[in-house]
Amino acid sequence: MEIKYNLTEKDYLNFNLFHVKNSASATRSLNLQRYVTPLVYLIFAYIFSSIADIPFLYAAIPFLIVGILWAVFYSKYFYYTISRQTKKMIREGKNEGIIGEHTMNMTEEGIVDTNPNGETKVNWSGFIKLVEDESSLYLYNSAVSAYIIPKRDLANVEEIRQFIKSKLPNE
């Protein structure tokens, strides 16, 4: 089975956001930063009230407001930062092997992904899982990398999904 697709910067960015949003360690990190920081603000309020010799409540209110705003808006900032850093990494190096035209041949043994810079061959045993979102299939070959297959370029998404699942060792 052969599929041809064009991988864009947006596809690569979507994969990185999808991966971070579905990663247990990234979620833990986000929650830690999101909820522990407001607690640190309250500690600062306590220290400030002790040093300035003012009631804790007076010192706590501004810190509490900032802490609530932090907890509410931090996740948007976190994902924005991921997006910005990913875009910078894409633009700073030569990424012709990632971004651009791809031809993927899926055989009984594995896949061969060809792009203008060369080709890679991976046996089915080299893949961990297949996951997807509304725009792409992600064929993971490690815990942090995957072949990104945009659905917009596929004639029959269900047929390709079933073929890949039938070949994966863990499915």
16-66 per-position pLDDT tens digit? 999 999 988 888 989 999 999 999 988 989 998 899 888 988 888 998 999
By CB atoms closer than 10 A (0-12, 13-18, 19+), residue 169 is: exposed
Angle between helices 9-21 and 56-92 (to 10 degrees): 140
* Same-domain check for residues 76 and 113: no
Split at pLDDT 50, 70, 90, the class of 132 is very high
pLDDT tens digits, residue range 83-125?
Answer: 998 888 888 876 667 888 999 999 999 999 998 888 999 999 9
* Same-domain check for residues 58 and 26: yes
* Same-domain check for residues 125 and 163: yes
pLDDT tens digits, residue range 157-170?
Answer: 999 999 999 998 77
- Overall number of domains in the chain: 2
| Whole-number pLDDT of residue 100 | 86
* Same-domain check for residues 56 and 83: yes
| Whole-number pLDDT of residue 92 | 80
* Same-domain check for residues 113 and 78: no
DSSP letters spanning 108-133: SSEEEEEETTEEEEEEGGG--EEEE-
Contact 130, 140 (CB under 8 A): yes
* Same-domain check for residues 34 and 60: yes
137: CATH: 2.30.29
pLDDT for residue 155 is more than 90: no
Split at pLDDT 50, 70, 90, the class of 171 is low
pLDDT for residue 144 is more than 80: yes
pLDDT tens digits, residue range 74-83?
Answer: 999 999 999 9
Q: Which three-class secondary structure state does DSSP give residue 10?
A: helix
Domain boundary among 42, 70, 92: 92
| Whole-number pLDDT of residue 95 | 67
For the segment 141-155, the average pLDDT, to the nearest whole number, is 91
Split at pLDDT 50, 70, 90, the class of 126 is very high
User: Residue 125's domain spans which residues?
Assistant: 2-7+100-167
* Same-domain check for residues 144 and 162: yes
* Same-domain check for residues 108 and 126: yes
* Same-domain check for residues 18 and 88: yes
